[in-house]
Amino acid sequence: MAGHKSVINRREFLGTLVASGCSLWIPSASSAPNGPSHSPQADHDSAIRDAIKKAENFEHDYRDDIYLERRQLRLLRQCLQRLTRVQQYVGYGNFNLIDLDRARRYARLYSAIGEFTAAEMAFIESIYHVDAQQYGFLGKRLSASLTDTIQRRDVRKIPGSGHYLYRGEALAVYEKMRKRIGTQLELTSGIRGVVKQLHLFLAKASKSGGNLSRAARSLAPPGHSYHGIGDFDVGQRGLGAANFTSAFSKTGIYRQLLDMGLIKMRYPYANPYGVRHEPWHIKVVKDA
């Protein structure tokens, strides 16, 4: 028997996007059996088991993954390019904090960016508001609204990194690490507002050919990232983008952090969020 719940979820998901002018292309194998469902709890447990299994091979396309249809993928890429132009205008560091209203204001004011079209805004709204569980991301929604803002007085810029941390616990945890490990440890990603997370998620979904499920195995969808409320990523200076791969877990920095008991991992293997193992991501805030 076909996975009844998962078919309904897809229909609801489709409905949400259609309501905002969006629709999805769903692979023909999407009605593949998911096993019998007994209760919401059993469904939830089975969704977690499924997500954990898929996260082992997070870059793989699975046959029940959720894809954007072609027209929506084009729209996604249009939004992505416009957001990239906003980032070029405000600078890499500021882009971590910018809110959507401000991004739209700059887009309207500067012809080099160009105003967001109504279709792009509808797409952004639908990507933000849709229930991400329906494409396999099991974490909670953590931001209150698409237009959430980050107050400058609440954050501190970390010199030389292009990133920010919240004053208070996040900053204290990072400073303790730097004190113990030294300058070989660097902040590779700190606070990320909704716009920054949206940009990252759209970039990942674009690279994944519109496969939202695959994108969400590597990256929390906008509004669902703990980077919005305090978590941060660390790496070894000079390692570059490899800091966001399994190479990081082979570095001296990682070994030292572990030995000193300074790593609290948000995304260990088999985590309940459906996200790949991320040894570089430091958990600061409690689970939502």
* Both tokens assigned to 143: 């931001």
Q: Among residues 133 and 189, whose Cβ is nearest to Zn ion?
A: 189
Q: Among residues 98 and 282, whose Cβ is nearest to Zn ion?
A: 282
β-sheet bridge partners, residue 235: 186
Span near Zn ion by CB under 5 A; candidates 24-32, 43-51, 227-235, 243-251: 227-235
- 3-state secondary structure at position 234: strand
CB 266 → Zn ion: shortest distance, Å? Answer: 7
How far apart, in whole angstroms, are the C-alpha atoms of residue 241 and residue 251?
Answer: 13
Give the residue nearest to Zn ion (CB): 281
How far apart, in whole angstroms, are the C-alpha atoms of residue 220 and residue 206?
Answer: 15
- Name the DSSP class of 21: T
Residue 149 in contact with residue 99, Cβ under 8 Å? yes
Name the phi and psi angles at 282, rounded to 5: -95, 125
With binding defined as CB under 5 A, does residue 186 bind Zn ion? no
Q: Among residues 82 and 281, whose Cβ is nearest to Zn ion?
A: 281
* Both tokens assigned to 260: 């000193």
Span near Zn ion by CB under 5 A; candidates 24-32, 175-183, 195-203, 275-283: 275-283
Nearest C-alpha neighbor of 221 from the set 191, 244, 200, 206: 200
CB 131 → Zn ion: shortest distance, Å? Answer: 22
Span near Zn ion by CB under 5 A; candidates 57-65, 78-86, 190-198, 280-288: 280-288
Span near Zn ion by CB under 5 A; candidates 149-157, 179-187, 233-241, 254-262: 233-241
CB 282 → Zn ion: shortest distance, Å? Answer: 8
Radius of gyration of the chain (CA): 19
CB 261 → Zn ion: shortest distance, Å? Answer: 20
CB 219 → Zn ion: shortest distance, Å? Answer: 9
Span near Zn ion by CB under 5 A; candidates 109-117, 131-139, 147-155, 277-285: 277-285
Q: Among residues 43 and 233, whose Cβ is nearest to Zn ion?
A: 233
With binding defined as CB under 5 A, does residue 281 bind Zn ion? yes
Nearest C-alpha neighbor of 129 from the set 19, 53, 238: 19
Residue 71 identity: R
Q: Among residues 64 and 233, whose Cβ is nearest to Zn ion?
A: 233
Nearest C-alpha neighbor of 108 from the set 100, 23, 177: 100
CB 168 → Zn ion: shortest distance, Å? Answer: 18
Burial 146-164 (b: 16+ CB within 10 A, else e): beeebeeeebbbbeebbbb
Residue 229 half-sphere exposure toward CB, CA atoms < 13 A: 17
Q: Among residues 156 and 276, whose Cβ is nearest to Zn ion?
A: 276
With binding defined as CB under 5 A, does residue 163 bind Zn ion? no
With binding defined as CB under 5 A, does residue 233 bind Zn ion? yes
Size of the site for Zn ion (CB under 5 A): 2
Q: Among residues 120 and 233, whose Cβ is nearest to Zn ion?
A: 233
Nearest C-alpha neighbor of 127 from the set 104, 166, 100: 100
* Both tokens assigned to 230: 């305090």
CB 20 → Zn ion: shortest distance, Å? Answer: 28
CB 71 → Zn ion: shortest distance, Å? Answer: 31
Applying CB under 5 A, which residues contact Zn ion?
A: 233, 281
